Amino acid sequence: MRKMMLLLGLALTLSCFSQNRQGYQNPVIPGFHPDPSVCRAGDDFYLVNSSFQYFPGVPLFHSKDLINWEQIGHCLTRPSQLPLHDAGPWGGIYAPTIRYNDGTFYMITTNVSDKGNFLVHTTDPRGEWSEPVWLKQGGIDPSLYFEDGKCYLVSNPGVGIYLCEINPKTGEQLNESKRIWNGTGGRHPEGPHIYKKDDWYYLLISEGGTEYGHKVTIARSHYIDGPYDSNPANPILTHINKNAQDSPIQGTGHADLVQAPDGSWWMVCLAFRPQCGTHHLLGRETFLAPVRWDKNAWPVVNGDGSIALKMDVPTLPQQPFAKKPVRTEFKNKELGSEWVYLRNYHPENYTFASGNLHLKATPIGLNDWKGSPTFVCRRQEHIDFTATTSMQLKKAIAGDEAGLTVYMFESSHYDLFVKQLENGKQAVSLRYQLGELTHTEKEIILSQGKVQLRVRGNNELYMFEYATDGKTFKELGRMNTRYISTETAGGFTGIMLGLYATASSDASKAYVDFEYFDYEKK
């Protein structure tokens, strides 16, 4: 009996080990989800990302295993929390940090289009967060560290990382800001986070700019205000070295560390996946790496300071969520948290009627840098994908249009749309906006009625198609991916797939009904 029990115990142990060595696929949160920050509350993990000019702001995710993430909302859901003031793709909300302390969640970030650094807090991350608490210390990428009833703020208001103590409920700064580390000499030292382990304070930062030269470095001190000594093995994460020069992942950086309930350490970071040569379009995404952190030692990321798309490593017991459906049904009369708007939107222009998403056309268009067009969008999450919608433009006058856009930002997008013509007819059109260049690639006259619009993407091309019977799609044209990539267009965001409606004048009463939106990974 004893031998049988030992064998049973061994079998269970091997089974558990097998379950925990499932490995995982990077990125763990695909698409435009940059600057990840993570915290743990009990057995739950919470993660936030930058959102720049999009509203609501700061997408918020929940996980039980750091691998499978479910978006549970946003931290900034009210205009009073998030005035975007005509923010562009370099504006709005920069890198947030999320922390949990004594029953309260804190999210601290920078609105570069408003008054700078602020924090919000809540006891229920799935509910509403507080109004902004504005902070004196400037710079970007602020982070919080709690210890013995005190709260410390780090950010980069000058060349280097600065520290001060604050009251997190009022924002009052309790002492003078002190520079504690300049980094290792890389440009743009930013993204600071403080951790305490084995009586050492560790200061993690990013350097090199959020491009191909990005890297993560670390220093430590026995005192929170320094002096901090640099890790001789810096950087602890980068893909600028030979070991990762051919990796399909580049630009690794802007990281945060978290310890799991089993004692293991993990790092979330941003990176991007180049396509069409050295161009990337999906924005900076959220990746995950295991960390070995021995007592009194420096943390080591995934053995050699690099990460991979397929990570064959032991993991926490995985708890996946149900897969998202391909189809967004507008008959549900609500949009999921993956849908966002450009700047501070006008809710009255977005309603639900007869099972459709009903968008009111306005003269503010996709090219306008001020105001908010009638435009609702979600992230492109995969290089190979298909997105399809069915729509009908109604009560339109000449020049009114509505459709589907592949949108990097105001001066870089491809539009597949239905347009009202002078003669009372309609046409389906394909247009590009590339900097100051605007061109209608092709236009086909249609009869009035429903039109299905589809875009298929791959490494090098977007292929635009239309149908009038819901089944027989015809290709209208193809566009090269690299022309709206970050390397060509600029900005800090990624491709959004959006539904929009634009009026030719204030006199127009046009609107569009969208029946559904399908998004499918290929």
DSSP 216-269: EEEEEESSTT-PPEEPTT--SEESSSGGGTT-S-EEEEEEEEEE-TTS-EEEEE
Q: Within a domain: residue 75?
A: yes
Same-domain pairing of 50 and 124: yes
Same-domain pairing of 498 and 418: yes
Same-domain pairing of 109 and 47: yes
Last residue of one domain, picked from the residues 311, 335, 370: 311
The parts of the chain modelled with pLDDT lower than 50 are 1-19
Mean pLDDT for the chain? Answer: 95
Same-domain pairing of 273 and 362: no
* Rounded alpha-carbon distances, angstroms, from residue 234 to 177, 182, 268, 432: 26, 14, 17, 44
Same-domain pairing of 289 and 365: no
Q: In the chain, how many domains are there?
A: 2
pLDDT at 21: 63
pLDDT at 15: 38
pLDDT at 1: 42
* DSSP H helical ranges for 138-233: none
Cα atoms found within 13 Å of the Cα of residue 358, Cβ hemisphere only: 13
DSSP 275: B
Domain limits for position 239: 24-311
pLDDT at 6: 40
Three-state DSSP at 56 gives coil
Same-domain pairing of 475 and 367: yes
Q: Which residue has the tokens 């990746």?
A: 287
Residue 15 burial by CB count (10 A; 0-12/13-18/19+): exposed, middle or buried? exposed
Global confidence as pTM: 0.95
User: Residue 350 and residue 347: Cα distance in Å, rounded?
Assistant: 5
Residue 305: strand pairing partners: none
Q: Within a domain: residue 16?
A: no
Residue positions annotated with a catalytic role: 35, 190
Cβ atoms within 10 Å, residue 67:
21
Closest CA to 104 of 125, 88, 75, 134: 125
Same-domain pairing of 366 and 511: yes
